[in-house]
């Protein structure tokens, strides 16, 4: 009971008057505690939160964030994300990533996907190289405050190309006219870039946007103060970096490495003991399975050796036998990176490059909304 609210803050959290709050006390719905100042009462935050949860079926508590209306992506329980009304899982068979980006941006397709001349890149990890590249892209744009859609999407194309160009492994330069997936295959050091490019193109499409994911929400908050596109994308990249978001596929990659080394049962048991969950399994939205996983695995599996394919299936089968939630897109990204001998953080790299397109779409959409509309309401705890 170390988190206590004053009567004013408790009433505000419940969205009621103070007199109503004390009526709840008299009815035994919530307990009050003496305030050391002797003039009022204190309320336990957890008790108030529980009462607020119960009350949502009736009187609504005060909204704490703006409602976000979007036309970019809709999530379907069984079909996955739909971009502008079109299923991402179907777009992988008909369009390339560059065309899907134009669809998401609601702009005509463009052929210019050339990177910025960045100069010597620092010898740091991939994610830090991408952050550095994004900052340099902004610094080299003399009109970075131009918020017209054509200017914003031009900047986004250059950012995507530049982030691809600074990936640490593989040759660089000389392929400025190639598709982003083809460049990415080279940068990641794929042994057969041509064969891998198709799977990478699908991964980029499937990861392009996912409605109001955490990083996307961060981008929209930054956009609401009319920051330029480079700074907004930097906010998204920073948020995506966490292991519970863009970094989840790297943990799934490590799970497959351990399964190959120690055996499937041992690896899954050890990971469950350490983390209490299996990376690459379960999703807050897709309770019946992540359609993105199935769509990507159809292209990844032919690239795997038979032994690798068997191991992935064994991992999924053992998890299913013990009623672990179904696999998600992070496991498919992990199978791609692990099976093809790519760097362990390749899933996060693919995720970040792809998601720049979605962030840009939400950036453009947020610019049409009233500025400064995101103001969370705090409940002061004593």
pLDDT of residue 12: 81
**Exposure string (b/e) for 105-124, b if CB count within 10 Å is 16 or more?**
bebeeeeebebbebeebeee
Q: How far apart are CA 355 and CA 160, in angstroms?
A: 9
Q: Which residues make Cβ contacts (< 8 Å) with residue 193, sequence separation at least 6?
A: 182, 185, 186
Is the predicted pLDDT of residue 62 greater than 50, yes or no? Answer: no
Q: How far apart are CA 110 and CA 22, in angstroms?
A: 63
Nearest Cα neighbor of 210 from 199, 223, 201, 219 is 219
User: Which DSSP string do the residues of 231-297 spell out, in sequence order?
Assistant: HHHHHHHHHHTSTTTTTHHHHHHHHHHHHHHH-HHHHHHHHHHHHSS-TTB--SS-TT--HHHHHHH
In this structure, are strands 41-44 and 80-83 parallel, antiparallel, or unpaired?
A: unpaired
State the catalytic residue, choosing from 165, 228, 330, 345: 330
146 has catalytic annotation: no
Minimum mean pLDDT range among 7-11, 59-63, 187-191:
59-63
State the catalytic residue, choosing from 175, 231, 245, 283: 283
Is the predicted pLDDT of residue 301 greater than 70, yes or no? Answer: yes
User: If you average pLDDT over residues 269-277, what whole number do you get?
Assistant: 94
283 has catalytic annotation: yes
pLDDT of residue 59: 43
pLDDT of residue 375: 82
Residue of 58 and 184 predicted with greater confidence:
184
Q: How far apart are CA 211 and CA 260, in angstroms?
A: 35
DSSP character for 5?
A: E
Percent of the chain surpassing pLDDT 90: 70
Kindly tell me the burial class for residue 98, based on how many C-beta atoms sit within 10 Å of its own C-beta (0-12, 13-18, 19 or more).
buried
Do 35 and 41 meet the contact criterion of CB atoms below 8 Å apart?
A: yes
Residue 317, SS3 per DSSP? helix
Q: Which residues make Cβ contacts (< 8 Å) with residue 215, sequence separation at least 6?
A: 236, 237, 239, 240, 245, 246, 355, 359
Per this entry, what is the length of the chain? 382
Residue of 72 and 15 predicted with greater confidence:
72
**What does the pLDDT look like over 159-199, one tens digit per residue?**
999 999 999 655 555 576 899 999 999 999 998 998 899 99
Q: How far apart are CA 42 and CA 40, in angstroms?
A: 7
Q: Which residues make Cβ contacts (< 8 Å) with residue 345, sequence separation at least 6?
A: 125, 126, 127, 247, 250
pTM comes to 0.84
Is the predicted pLDDT of residue 56 greater than 60, yes or no? Answer: no
């Amino acid at each position: 009971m170390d988190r206590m609210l004053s009567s004013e803050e408790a009433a505000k959290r419940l969205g009621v008057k103070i007199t109503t709050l004390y009526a709840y006390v008299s009815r035994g719905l919530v307990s009050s505690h003496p305030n050391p100042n002797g003039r009022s009462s204190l309320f336990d935050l957890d008790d108030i939160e529980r009462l607020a949860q119960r009350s949502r079926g009736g009187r609504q508590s005060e909204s704490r964030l703006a409602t976000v209306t979007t036309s970019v992506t809709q999530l379907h329980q069984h079909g996955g994300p739909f971009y502008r009304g079109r299923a991402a899982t179907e777009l992988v068979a008909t369009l390339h990533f560059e065309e899907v980006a134009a669809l998401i941006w609601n702009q005509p397709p463009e052929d210019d996907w050339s990177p910025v001349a960045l100069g010597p890149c620092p010898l740091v990890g991939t994610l830090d190289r991408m952050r550095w590249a994004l900052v340099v892209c902004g610094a080299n744009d003399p009109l970075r405050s131009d918020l017209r859609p054509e200017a914003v999407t031009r900047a986004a194309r250059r950012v995507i190309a530049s982030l691809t160009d600074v990936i640490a492994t593989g040759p660089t330069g000389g392929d400025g006219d190639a598709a982003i997936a083809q460049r990415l295959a080279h940068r990641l050091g794929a042994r057969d870039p041509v064969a891998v490019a198709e799977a990478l193109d699908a991964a980029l499409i499937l990861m392009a946007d996912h409605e109001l994911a955490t990083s996307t929400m961060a981008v929209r908050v930054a956009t609401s103060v009319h920051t330029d596109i480079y700074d907004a994308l930097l906010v998204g990249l920073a948020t995506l970096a966490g292991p519970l978001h863009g970094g989840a596929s790297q943990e799934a990659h490590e799970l497959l490495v351990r399964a190959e080394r120690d055996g499937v049962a041992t690896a899954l048991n050890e990971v469950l003991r350490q983390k209490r969950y299996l990376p690459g399994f379960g999703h807050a939205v897709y309770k019946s399975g992540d359609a993105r996983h199935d769509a990507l695995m159809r292209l990844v599996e032919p690239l795997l050796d038979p032994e690798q394919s068997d191991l992935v299936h064994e991992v999924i089968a053992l998890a299913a036998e013990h009623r672990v939630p179904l696999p998600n897109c992070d496991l498919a990204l992990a199978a791609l990176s692990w099976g093809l001998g790519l760097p362990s953080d390749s899933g996060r790299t693919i995720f970040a490059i792809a998601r720049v397109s979605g962030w840009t779409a939400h950036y453009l959409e947020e610019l049409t909304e009233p500025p400064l509309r995101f103001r969370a309401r705090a409940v002061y705890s004593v």
